[in-house]
Structure 1
Amino acid sequence: MDLLSACVTPFAAPEAALVPDARKPGQNRQIRVEKLGLVGYEATWAHQEELLAATVALKNHNRQAAEAGSPITPTPNSIVLCQHPHVYTLGKSGKPEHLLLSEAELAEHGATYHRINRGGDITYHGPGQLVGYPILDLDNFFNDIHRYLRVLEEAVINTLAEYGLRAGRIAGLTGVWLDFAEGAANPRKICAMGVKCSRWVTMHGFALNINTDLAYFGYIVPCGITDKAVTSLQQELGRAVPLPEVEEKLLRHLATLLDAELIR
């Protein structure tokens, strides 16, 4: 099974995602937290692939063990938090022409470009942006990729509420938005999302603009959306916000929504 979510996905009402499922025997709801700081995109992508491959291999081993009547080993969960140097990534359903820079212009702006295996179109990562890569075995929580996306969104929405910002969803568009109500004059995206799920193990994740240089979004068509703006926590509040402060708030909300225990 290889499921991909895109920047535009079928929208499901979030309410069902807000109440964690009762725990079942054998589920591991501990999530190991890795904070990597500012790290190159390729190295982090490779790290995600290693974590995912190890978890899938363990699931295959457990299936064989269960068939043989042997004990099984609980599968792990991780979340990798980091920032990246300036980089543009294009998902499997994206259009290369949504990058508006040539190779020479990329170099002039100190940015790199990668085609990757998540869902969605093109997005930007850079310093001042909190990027989260949950490597979760959803068999430990629930088997529903759209519900998983709603949980990620809700954790961000609840985090932004602590700063006095009312954020929400726009039907049909994955991610978190301000001025999101239908007919609002200036809807703006503050958090992008794109994930991959193999054998119910997730990778890739979310990018929350905190103190991000928004000028870099001007060199792409973000998520292929041409009629909506991009914003950051700094732009909305008029001040810089410490990333570690936001990290802790978001982790707390995500743990609550997943009924999980964070392991530092």
Structure 2
Amino acid sequence: MRPEVHVQDLGQAAYKPTWDLQERLLKTSVDRKIARRRAGLSETQRDPVGPNDGYPWPENHLLFVEHPHVLTLGKSGDANHVVASPERLQALGVEYHEINRGGDITYHGPGQLVAYPILDLDQFRTDIGWYLRQLEEAVIRTCADWGVSSGRIEGLTGVWVDPQAGLAARKICAIGVKCSRWVTMHGLAFNLNTDLEFFNLIVPCGIQDRGVTSLA
């Protein structure tokens, strides 16, 4: 049986409330897994238990959102990759958050589709590398649907236009996640019709020698 995923389109929403929503959904799933384990129930496959057993299965969610201008720095990132001053960010109306995902600095803003999967990988496959490749593959296939050739660059997470072009390759989608007890949060940022000038405020993903691009 395929896992069920609840999809929500949040429209335009500020970063912090959306981050808080992810945290709540992740905590609910983790708490349910812990409760099932303590009750001697499986965390890795559905059990034929009654509707009133008191131990619901962790739910899977997929949130879509478009954020106003915001920079987020992952826990392994370098704050020096924000090249604009705090005064410059404030003047442009750009928020800044240090967050608990992997990866470095990235930009979110209008014209960018952000997807946050909160998934219990015990219901899919417990392999973070595999999961990251699935996120990339979804974007690669979407780009192909729009006639854009994209792919991966070995050693770099994310999706690139003209990945075989060496330093001329441009990133179209950044990916950074967190996983707790095999439940994921954070996700991907896919540039659809994004003002790329805002990426000049940072060293995108900490990568000095390659640029960014947008689907349109």
TM-score under structure 2 normalisation? Answer: 0.92
Bigger mean CA offset, 34-43 vs 71-80 = 71-80
Count of residues in Structure 1 that have an aligned counterpart in Structure 2: 207
Superposed displacement of residue 41, structure 1? 0.3
Partner of 1:231: 213
Which deviations, in whole Å up to 9, do the C-alpha atoms of 1:192-211 show, x marking residues without a partner?
A: 00000000000000000001
Instruction: Select 2:3's aligned residue among 29, 35, 60.
Output: 29
5 Å-filtered alignment, 1:65-214, equals 65-66=39-40, 71=49, 72-181=55-164, 183-184=165-166, 186-214=168-196
Superposed displacement of residue 64, structure 1? 1.5
Change (3 A) 1:67 1:194: closer
Change (3 A) 1:127 1:67: closer
Bigger mean CA offset, 164-173 vs 61-70 = 61-70
Code of the residue aligned with 1:52 in structure 2: it is L
TM-score under structure 1 normalisation? Answer: 0.76
> Greater relative contact order (Cα 8 A, min sep 6): structure 1 or 2?
1
Consecutive unaligned residues of structure 1, counting only runs of 5 or more, are 1-22, 235-264
Cα distance in 2 between the residues matched to 1:179 and 1:122: 22
Cα distance in 1 between the residues matched to 2:203 and 2:84: 11
| CA contact 2:143–2:149 (8 Å) conserved in 1 | yes
Superposed displacement of residue 165, structure 1? 1.1
Partner of 1:42: 16
| CA contact 2:167–2:209 (8 Å) conserved in 1 | no
Percent identity, aligned pairs only, is: 55
Superposed displacement of residue 70, structure 1? 10
Instruction: Select 1:217's aligned residue among 177, 191, 199.
Output: 199
Consecutive unaligned residues of structure 2, counting only runs of 5 or more, are 50-54
Cα distance in 2 between the residues matched to 1:172 and 1:49: 29
